[in-house]
Amino acid sequence: MIKETSLCMGCMNDKTYDGPCKLCGYSDSTPCIPTYMAPKTFLADRYIVGKVISYNGEGAVYIGFDTAAGIKVTIKEFMPDTLCSRRKGETEITVDPSSSALYKTYMSEFIDLNRTLMKLRGMSHLQTVLDVFCENNTAYAVFEYINGISLKTYLANSSGEIAWEQAKELFSPFFTTLSLIHSAGIIHRGISPSTIFVTDKMELKLSGFAICAARTTGTEIPCEMFAGFAAPEQYTNEINGTWTDVYGISAVLYRCLTGCTPTEAIARSGGSLMEPMMINRNIPSNISRVIMEGLKLSPDSRIRTVTEFVDRLFSQPKPAEPDPGENQKLTRKEQKQRKERAKTIAVLVIAGLVLIAFVVVFVLTLNGAFSGGAGNSSDSEVSSEASVSSDISEPSQTTEPETSQSEPENVVTEVTDTILMPDFTLRSYDYESERYGTTFTFVPQYEYSDEYAQGMMYDQSIDPGTEVTAGITVVIKVSKGPSKVALPDYTGKTPDKYASELSKLNIKYSITSELSNDAQNGYVFKCSVEIGDLVDVENGQEVIVYCAENFEPEESSSDESSEESGDEQSENIPGIWGNPDESTTPEESVTEEIPEV
């Protein structure tokens, strides 16, 4: 059922004028994805549904308005599109008969999850569930509307990272809420900067809860994984638990403090993740160490609960712990000074030996000159030269140990040039090419792939584990992403911003202007392809992007034209502009013309 309203379906603010919203740019003429509910749909005789905010394998999230409370809300609809469908223009969902039992099972889990969350509505750091109801052959959960931005956006606005002191202030109460959620038997499985929001009061709120099947692989619905933040057991059939969320929150802290997203769990080996304090020296060593323990790949060796994680994170380091670090630094300085002293002493000793040798040679030469005659002068010279050469050779013999010591170092260097070829499969090309850029010469071959994500490597010319030398060239196959991609939403976007999104998806496009008041002047208002339709990027399908060129209705000109046309018509009527004496009444003119016709 559609409900007429003056609210903007993009931001749920009052809009009493025609054309796009001046606050968010949304226009009522903006096409919507036919799979989901149309804007202005009325639910439960209370909620107005707006535009789609996001969607995943579990369903879609809409902005909405509670007419009873007079507040903005967000409405989550259970709609796993692999098990059910919706015809365009309808609100009722049609379930695939072969998936009916599974659909009911997942929907029951969806209802139970959100009803449990509704009981926790007193928690200030959790997005509150306001209502749960069934309609249209599916279920809905109504959440509070969060006034704020995602942590991902917040970090982007904070130069990519924040200091530990700021993170400590933000996350301390958030950890308590997360622990209470676990006590209620709920595992999030999707903790990431995209599901944590920073409110206008500078408080964190956790959102984005989903059923288990939507956050683990190998299920009948598409899974939503946050690369770098999803625990390794989410990619396998291992049991998920509180330790799964410990991995997620540890990865979030890693991202906040270093500005870098951790390597995806399935692409990591035991020691492939760099410790936070190695990236940012301002991170306390004990904080860095606890984060790494929360990011361990094995659930058995990982920190098991949020309570344990918090205890270890905020426990004061022992007084003796900083001292060894300082002593180690002092010891290193002392060792360096000792090495320098040893080198200086060695140089002085060698110089002393050389000086003594020259003195001895000089003395022997003088003795030979006074004892021998003129005829023996050549012999003395020969003997003196021999003694000089023999004496000079002595210092050189003392330096041989140094030469002999340097030779093994060269040998070791040659040995370390031989390394084992890593396995680059399912790893990010940008990350690994930067990491191994000085070790290997990468030659990427970009190909479209529906199996591997964009930028992910899936084949290499040299097998992993092969013994190779540094600097060798390796040909890598890199995914350009799927061959066909859905056209993204352009509502309220400038041509530059939308073109950037299209470029990231490898969609070929051209931009043109067209007279229209369906969007703000210069904003995109339509495309040659409908939003959500697939674009064949592999074969170079081009999308035409139309930008609105606003115009003012020319009311005055239309009035003038009507007057002119009226004048022209009046000139053809006798008596209007002619001699008044010759004028006739309309009745007379009609009666005169009828016989002629």
pLDDT tens track for 491-504? 888 998 898 889 88
Same-fold call for 42-144 versus 418-479: no
* pLDDT, position 322: 46
Task: Label the pairing between strands 42-43 and 418-420.
Answer: unpaired
> 160-176 pLDDT, tens per residue?
899 999 999 999 999 99
| Architecture of the 149-314 domain | Orthogonal Bundle (1.10)
Percentage of the chain exceeding pLDDT 90: 48
Report in angstroms the alpha-carbon separations of 288 from 281, 327, 509. 10, 21, 45
Mean predicted confidence (pLDDT) in 500-513: 88
Helix (H, G, I), strand (E, B) or coil at 165: helix
* pLDDT, position 541: 92
Residue 181 has pLDDT above 90, yes or no: yes
Mean predicted confidence (pLDDT) in 9-33: 90
**Who has greater pLDDT, 425 or 95?**
95
Residue with tokens 């409908």: 530
Q: What is the mean pLDDT of the chain?
A: 81
**Who has greater pLDDT, 4 or 46?**
46
Residue 385 has pLDDT above 60, yes or no: no
Mean predicted confidence (pLDDT) in 542-546: 93
Percentage of the chain exceeding pLDDT 70: 80
* pLDDT, position 596: 43
Q: What confidence tier does 331 reach under pLDDT thresholds 50, 70, 90?
A: low
Query: Which amino acid appears at position 359 of this protein?
Result: V
Backbone angles phi, psi at 54, to 5 degrees: -160, 165
* pLDDT, position 204: 96
Range with top average pLDDT, 381-390, 407-416, 449-458: 449-458
CATH T-level topology, domain 484-549: Trypsin Inhibitor V; Chain A (3.30.10)
Residue 297 has pLDDT above 60, yes or no: yes
**Who has greater pLDDT, 226 or 415?**
226
Mean predicted confidence (pLDDT) in 6-32: 90
Mean predicted confidence (pLDDT) in 244-261: 96
* pLDDT, position 472: 87
* pLDDT, position 367: 67
* pLDDT, position 191: 97
Instruction: State the Rg of the chain over Cα.
Output: 40
Residue 326 has pLDDT above 50, yes or no: no
State the Cα–Cα distance between residues 189 and 244, nearest whole angstrom.
6
> 430-464 pLDDT, tens per residue?
777 877 877 888 889 888 887 777 777 889 999 98
* pLDDT, position 424: 86
Mean predicted confidence (pLDDT) in 315-321: 56
Helix (H, G, I), strand (E, B) or coil at 553: coil
State the Cα–Cα distance between residues 413 and 347, nearest whole angstrom.
26
State the Cα–Cα distance between residues 530 and 488, nearest whole angstrom.
9
Task: Label the pairing between strands 84-85 and 71-78.
Answer: unpaired
Residue 561 has pLDDT above 50, yes or no: no
Q: What confidence tier does 37 reach under pLDDT thresholds 50, 70, 90?
A: very high
State the Cα–Cα distance between residues 182 and 498, nearest whole angstrom.
40
Q: Are 526 and 560 in contact (CB under 8 A)?
A: no
The DSSP output letter for 487 is: P
Residue 410 has pLDDT above 80, yes or no: no
Residue 159 has pLDDT above 50, yes or no: yes
Residue 579 has pLDDT above 70, yes or no: no
Residue 488 has pLDDT above 70, yes or no: yes
Mean predicted confidence (pLDDT) in 372-380: 43
Q: Are 5 and 40 in contact (CB under 8 A)?
A: yes
Sheet-wide strand order for 473-479: 441-447, 473-479, 457-460
In the beta sheet, which residues pair with residue 131? Answer: 142
Query: What class is the 42-144 domain?
Result: alpha beta
**Who has greater pLDDT, 261 or 330?**
261
Which CATH code fits 418-479?
Answer: 3.30.10.20
Q: What confidence tier does 368 reach under pLDDT thresholds 50, 70, 90?
A: low
CB contact set of 144 (below 8 Å; sequence gap of 6+)? 73, 74, 127, 128, 130
From 195, 191, 305, 201, select the one nearest 254 (Cα to Cα): 191
Residue 389 has pLDDT above 70, yes or no: no
- How would DSSP label each residue in 379-429? HHHHHHHHHHHHHHHHHHHHTHHHHHHHHHHHHHHHHHTEEEPP--TTSBH
Q: How many CB atoms lie within 10 A of CB 427?
A: 23
Here the tokens at position 446 are 């970009």
Mean predicted confidence (pLDDT) in 1-8: 86
Q: CA 196, 197, 201, 202 torsion: positive or negative?
A: positive
Mean predicted confidence (pLDDT) in 556-561: 48
Every domain of the chain and the residues it spans: 42-144, 149-314, 323-416, 418-479, 484-549, 564-596
Residue with tokens 């209007």: 576
Range with top average pLDDT, 227-231, 352-356, 402-406: 227-231
Q: What confidence tier does 528 reach under pLDDT thresholds 50, 70, 90?
A: very high
**Who has greater pLDDT, 390 or 173?**
173
Here the tokens at position 212 are 């288990």
**Who has greater pLDDT, 171 or 326?**
171
